[in-house]
Amino acid sequence: MTLRLGDIAPDFTAETSEGTIHFHKWMGDSWAVFFSHPRDYTPVCTTELGAVARIKGEFDKRNTKVIAISVDPLDSHAGWIQDINETQDTTVNFPLIADPDKTVANLYDMIHPNASDTATVRSVFIIGPDKKIKLQLTYPASTGRNFAEILRVLDSLQLTANYSVATPADWQNGQDCVIVPAIKDEEIPAKFPKGHKVIKPYLRTTPQPNL
């Protein structure tokens, strides 16, 4: 199954380090960041889970739940979480899915035979409250994920879901945005009362509208 942006994220029921979840029900009206790990006790993933635990408050502020998956069973997860808490000086505060039969991994196309026919690649999905996939990223095993970038993309997705703007290259929360081409010049003053700047007829900017 190949998933694309805009597809409904597959629903599933799974055992996690925080009990049984039904994914769509667990999400509720929140956004979700769903990310995978090839197996327990892997060094890069240990640092990643610790990093997410330390900044979980940032996801909470954005009405976003975080959840991870590894193909190892729950008893293995329990030991690994202890190691993460110890080595990363934090407390894992989000669920870690156990997927020993790879049901969820296959549902989300997390096993890439050219990389490994047994282990999941390190995928990231951002899923909106409408349960649609808004972003997909796939990392190789050797490169740790940049969760500051994932927060940046989340800010952009939440902003652009509610306003007729896009975010330019290297945009950070609080910076000017691009007015989408579908907005006519005569509509701009009513939609963007903070003002706007015309750089080119197709390139118009405005202060971030939700601040």
- All domains in the chain, ordered by first residue: 13-145 (3.40.30.10), 163-206 (3.30.1020.10)
Residue 57: the pLDDT is 98
Mind giving me the DSSP string for 167-178? --TT--TTS-EE
Low-confidence residues of the chain: pLDDT under 70:
1, 112-121
Residue 140: the pLDDT is 84
Q: Give the Cβ contact number of residue 114 at 10 Å.
A: 6
Measure the CA–CA gap between 197 and 35, rounded to whole angstroms: 38
Q: At 58, list the tokens.
A: 């940032």
Q: At 173, list the tokens.
A: 């929360």
Residue 152: the pLDDT is 98
Residue 126: the pLDDT is 98
Residue 1: the pLDDT is 61
Residue 117: the pLDDT is 47
Residue 47: which of 129, 139, 133 has the closest Cα?
139
- pTM to 2 decimals? 0.92
Residues classed as catalytic: 45
